[in-house]
Structure 1
Amino acid sequence: MYTGSRHFPQQGTRSRHQDKHVWQEVRKGPAEGQSQGSQPEPKKEPLDAQSKLLLAVNGLFGVGNALSGTFVNVYLWKSRGDFTLIGWFTLVHYFTMALTFWLAGKWVKEHNKMNCLRAGVTISAVFYLLVLLFGERAADNFVLLGAVQGMSAGFFWLAFNVVYFEVTEPGNRDRFNGWAGLLGSGAGMLAPWISGFLITRMESATGYRLIFTISLVVFLIGAAVSFFLKKRETTGTYEWGLSWRCLRNKETAWRKVVLALMAQGVREGVFGFMIALLVYVHTGNEMKLGNYSLISSAVALVFFMLAGRYLKPHRRGRAMLIGASAMVLLILPFFWQVSFTTLLLFGIGVAMFFPLYSIPMTTLVFDLIGKDEESAKRREEYIVLRELSLNAGRLLGTGAFILVVSTTSSPLAMNWLLLAIGSSPLFAYYFMRKAVVTA
């Protein structure tokens, strides 16, 4: 999701000076005679062809993951019935993902970022090929599978985020993020339902093999489509120690942004797999899990579309607070009962409020990366810092999950764990608000 080369304005990009100018217009105070609530806002810009093509690649990546990603954890859990194994699989995934981000930063900065994007999609296909080859022994190879899945995510999202930054600008990032959320919700709505339908209509092992095969094919199509994205210029030398220098510099807003991103990652690390797994555990039916995804993602599709269209820069802080607070309150019914009904209500509620939290969170970070020419030159390093921060939070959250489930099987303990981890968006809002004020 970026910018910076010697001769900037290619088709599908904007100049560093434009990005700098727009950031300054957003950050400066109200003009004389202008009310505090009517600060100048970035001009709304349409998405160009390269932005739309990038959305298409992202959509295919999302479809491939939605078809099978929802059911990989179920597949592993059915083999062992062990939450701890799922936790370790996820922990390996996030660790490898973080390491891949850091190491691949040099590739993206100095060499061919499009090949990095294609590698991410292709390795995702390899992951599902391995799952097919291992079959019932997949759970015995969770370390290898977690590492391969982490590598695919690291390569893809690093390159995707850099290209996203280059083909968008402050005037259309909310729109792009809204469309990305809408496509993700569309994939999450239909793909898991189709997978659940196929699994329950076939002999279980055959159904799982079929959806893993379909995902493999979808990722290969995504890799082919990515060749229509233009090769992007590279410039500069990768600074391995930029992340550490940012953390040591007390004057930079990045110190607070890192804390906000870590808080965001804490929730993502556990809720990304745990809610779907709980739906299956409490229903024992893949079709019910598909129905859950269909309903919650349909609601998310509508609300991502609305948020992407109507969310204004001066409303971002309030939107984040409302979204974060609502996501915490939606966990409380679990203390009364954890059932398909309460899980579905949770999923619908999160689908409604998550866009208010996630779209501003993403947009503000990337606007900070493009705040001036010098910052935009180091976009790859800042994106690596962003992803390392998110994954640090994911590792922290997943580590806490492993610690709890390996020591107790108490439902009450699990509820308190979900509430503690699920409250992290409030901390993300607090630190991001401080960062924006001091940026």
Structure 2
Amino acid sequence: MAKTLDRQAVLLLIVQALYGVANALSGTFVPVYLWKASQSYTLIGWYTMGQYVMSGLTFYVAGKWVKEHNKMNSLRAGIILSGVFYCTVLLLGQQAKVYYVPLGILNGMALGFFWIAFNVVYFEVTDPDNRDRYNGWAGLLGSAAGIVAPWVSGLLITSMQGEQGYRLIFTISLVIFSIGVILSFWLKKRHVEGVYNWKHGIQQLMQKGNPWRRIFPAIAAQGVREGVFMFLVGLTVYVATQNESKLGTFSLITSLVALFSFWAVGKMLKKNNRKLAMLIGVIMIAIVILPLFWKVTYATLLMFGIGTSLFMPLYIIPMTSRVFDLIGQSEESAREREEFIVLREAGLVLGRVIGLSSYLIVLPLNHSTAAITWLLFSVGVVPIAGWWLIRPFLAQQQQA
């Protein structure tokens, strides 16, 4: 039976939720904001590339800070830098299109500092018995943020003249980030031990028979899909409708479905059914892209979005839980948790860069709806390879 979450885990969930709300309010609309200023798919791609690469580098460098010094300060630095990012976009206004790569780098740094610290603290406040429950709640709260925040943002942007709506939502995000920083001081200062090993990831991947030689490419397969879907779906909805309010409504509906799905999967998922659940998940998140081949309209995009929200938890919860279970499988690996979390992020970043590279090759040459649909489908089927790679480890847990 799954264990309940203690107070530190609940507080971490609240901080994560606030961070998610602030990013959901404004983050959904940053690519749209840049698109409106530039009308360039290439610019959006390079902004996102700067974000992904800097996020990975920050993870790697901040790993030493998190392991040997104060990981809570890294968490706070991430939240503060996110606030600085939105403040910079506010100040730049239309000139943001000129500084798209530095903006991507700044956002990537903020994400890197926050998520390296968050993932280590998440590992420390959960265990294999309550990790699925935590991930279920995290997905639930993330979906709740996605329901209200972008919908409110879309309404404000469309109802206010010029850039006033964007200025307001970026300002609200700044306030929420500030609340997140304040609440983080109630998270206990975590114990630090050991010396950060800069070569740890390479050592794991070079070692014959090491499980990470299969886990790493499985994580990269997740990243390939994320690298394109994280920004292109919202941008496609906006380009198809030319209406921020409709993008907000799209996010509201899909997040409402995800809310239910994360709750149900988090409740029902057990170690003995993770393998089958994940297989169903990876197949279905590819199949739901098919309506877009018929026609890219708001209705077919909604069908695709609802389908993705319904089946994504079946894939993402077992994937995340199994990787963190592997990190905590022995005292030795648990002591190297910071290095393993950096290795996990390296897999995600590698996958995201591969996925985004395909976008940067295809979209500048052909940004027709057919090209976008084929790109979404091509990267959308890659997680099936991730399931195939991770399935022996899911089977081990099932037998245990």
**Please, what TM-score do these two structures have when normalized by structure 2?**
0.98
1:247 correspondence with 2:247: no
Amino acid at match of 2:23: N
Q: Which residue matches 1:64?
A: 22
**Count of residue pairs the alignment pairs up:** 397
Instruction: Classify the secondary structure of the residue corresponding to 1:236.
Output: coil
Q: Which residue matches 1:263?
A: 221
Q: Which residue matches 1:418?
A: 376
Q: Which residue matches 2:286?
A: 328
Q: 2:43 aligns with which of 72, 85, 93?
A: 85
Q: Which residue matches 1:280?
A: 238
Alpha-carbon distance in 1 for matches of 2:3, 2:363: 48
Assess if the C-alpha contact under 8 Å between 2:155 and 2:248 holds in 1: yes
Alpha-carbon distance in 1 for matches of 2:37, 2:295: 27
1:157 correspondence with 2:153: no
Unaligned segments of structure 1, at least 5 residues: 1-42
1:225 correspondence with 2:225: no
* Deviating 4+ runs (over 4 angstroms): 435-439
Q: Which residue matches 1:346?
A: 304
Deviations 1:239-275 (A, max 9, x none): 0001001111121111110000000000001000001
Q: 2:156 aligns with which of 181, 195, 198?
A: 198
Name the larger-Rg structure: 1
Post-superposition offset of 1:414:
2.3
Assess if the C-alpha contact under 8 Å between 1:323 and 1:353 holds in 2: yes
Q: Which residue matches 2:170?
A: 212
Instruction: Classify the secondary structure of the residue corresponding to 2:98.
Output: helix
Post-superposition offset of 1:100:
0.2
Alpha-carbon distance in 2 for matches of 1:409, 1:299: 29
Assess if the C-alpha contact under 8 Å between 2:22 and 2:176 holds in 1: yes
Amino acid at match of 2:35: W
Deviations 1:25-73 (A, max 9, x none): xxxxxxxxxxxxxxxxxx4110000000000000000000000000000
Amino acid at match of 1:169: D
Alpha-carbon distance in 2 for matches of 1:410, 1:201: 30
Assess if the C-alpha contact under 8 Å between 1:193 and 1:289 holds in 2: yes
Q: 2:367 aligns with which of 390, 396, 409?
A: 409
Instruction: Classify the secondary structure of the residue corresponding to 1:204.
Output: coil
Post-superposition offset of 1:144:
1.1
Assess if the C-alpha contact under 8 Å between 2:291 and 2:303 holds in 1: no
Post-superposition offset of 1:348:
0.6
Alpha-carbon distance in 1 for matches of 2:396, 2:18: 38
Instruction: Classify the secondary structure of the residue corresponding to 1:162.
Output: helix
Alpha-carbon distance in 1 for matches of 2:162, 2:303: 28
Q: Which residue matches 1:45?
A: 3
**Please, what TM-score do these two structures have when normalized by structure 1?**
0.89
Alpha-carbon distance in 1 for matches of 2:242, 2:365: 24
Instruction: Classify the secondary structure of the residue corresponding to 2:4.
Output: coil
Alpha-carbon distance in 1 for matches of 2:152, 2:367: 32
1:373 correspondence with 2:331: yes
Alpha-carbon distance in 2 for matches of 1:400, 1:226: 38
Post-superposition offset of 1:412:
2.4
Assess if the C-alpha contact under 8 Å between 1:256 and 1:435 holds in 2: no
Q: Which residue matches 1:55?
A: 13
Instruction: Classify the secondary structure of the residue corresponding to 1:237.
Output: coil
Alpha-carbon distance in 1 for matches of 2:388, 2:95: 44
Alpha-carbon distance in 2 for matches of 1:201, 1:401: 33
Alpha-carbon distance in 2 for matches of 1:299, 1:65: 19
Determine what percentage of the aligned residue pairs are the same residue. 55
Post-superposition offset of 1:438:
7.3
C-alpha root-mean-square deviation of aligned residues, in Å?
1.0
Shift in alpha-carbon separation, 1:100–1:438, aligned structure 2, 3 A: same
Post-superposition offset of 1:413:
2.5
Post-superposition offset of 1:204:
3.1
Alpha-carbon distance in 1 for matches of 2:312, 2:375: 20
Q: Which residue matches 2:344?
A: 386
Assess if the C-alpha contact under 8 Å between 1:326 and 1:353 holds in 2: yes
Deviations 1:57-90 (A, max 9, x none): 0000000000000000000000011111111100
1:314 correspondence with 2:272: yes
Deviations 1:165-187 (A, max 9, x none): 00001110000000000000000
